[in-house]
Amino acid sequence: MQIGIRNGSMGFPEMNELFEQAAQIGFDGVELDIGAEYDDEPVLSVEGRAEIKELAERTGVEVPSLCIGALWAFSPAATDRELLETARHLLAAAIEAAADLGARWILAPVTPAEEEISHQECTARWIREMKAIAPAAEEAGVILCLENVGRGCGKSAEDLKGLADGAASPNVMTYYDVGNACAFGNDAVAEIEYLAELIGVVHIKDHEADLLGDGIVDIPLCVDALRGVGYDGWLILETPATDDPLEAGNYNLAYLRDVVD
């Protein structure tokens, strides 16, 4: 398994420092977020991606995945037409960016509509949008991974499987977050076994603690469960940067490497 970290968990907003510090700590990759102010994101510009590719090559730190954090502001479940069109634009732009960067995976948090709708309606809207965008992902060789988050219609493994199955595309899978699962009161091991081959990427973080191993998530058991279903992909840290990102990054990477090895 390869180990990466989200850019926000590193605490370094500048790309140059982000890649250099990730390399110094020993991470295999960094996951880059596309925030709500997406027009300013280097990931979405040709020039910005050229810089990112140069940094990745120079430091040996890959970009395995992108996260469309902006979907919290512009959800595919949106009822407002303008919000929905922006969500569609973001999905298409992220696919283009990922293909250019050589990032295979895109994290799509299963976000709610801007107004209250039923779980059933939210699910139907997400499936509709994933079906519509899946051909573009297939053509680009990029996989959209739906993450279990606390609001919306993707809180459980059963929810995620229903969404991925509904999309009916090999390029729509799931992004499983073990910390979120425990925060929601779900059994992470059982959910990993339930999702099995539908897991594309995994977020690792603890719950009720900043550092891995200090909270309530049984991370070794989760890693064992992932191995048990044949998972050998990326483990991406989504841990707090804390007041000392370098110390936290070094500690969390050492902890996880010890678990994986």
pLDDT single digits (tens) 73-90: 999 999 999 999 999 999
pLDDT in the model for residue 12: 86
Mean pLDDT score, 53-60? 98
Q: Whose CA is closest to 130, among 104, 164, 99, 153?
A: 164
Q: Provide the domain limits for residue 57.
A: 2-260
The domain that holds 65 is classified in CATH as: 3.20.20.150
Render pLDDT for 121-180 as a digit per residue (tens, 0 to 9).
999 999 999 999 999 999 999 999 999 999 999 999 999 999 999 999 999 999 999 999
CB 233 within 8 A of CB 201: yes
Of 107, 78, 113, whose CA–CA distance to 91 is shortest?
107
Tokens standing for residue 98: 């990922």
**8 Å CB contact between 201 and 145:** yes
Tell me what pLDDT residue 67 has.
98
**What does the pLDDT average to over 101-113?**
98
pTM of the model: 0.96
Counting the structural domains of the chain, the total is 1
User: For residue 148, which of 225, 241, 245, 238 has the smallest C-alpha distance?
Assistant: 238
pLDDT at residue 69, rounded to an integer: 98
Contacts of 85 (CB under 8 A, 6+ apart): none
Q: What is the pLDDT of residues 178-203, one digit of tens each?
A: 999 999 999 999 999 999 999 999 99
b/e code 17-47 from CB counts within 10 Å (16+ = b): ebbbbbbebebbbbbbbbeeebeebbbbeee
- Separation between Cα atoms, residue 191 and residue 180, nearest integer Å: 12
3-state percent breakdown (helix, strand, coil) of the chain, nearest 5:
50, 15, 35
What does the alpha-carbon distance between residue 174 and residue 187 come to, in Å, rounded to a whole number? Answer: 16
- Dihedral pair phi/psi, residue 94, rounded to 5°: -65, -40
Residue 13 has pLDDT above 90, yes or no: no
Helix intervals (H) in 141-231: 157-167, 178-183, 188-195, 219-228
Tokens describing residue 18: 């982000």
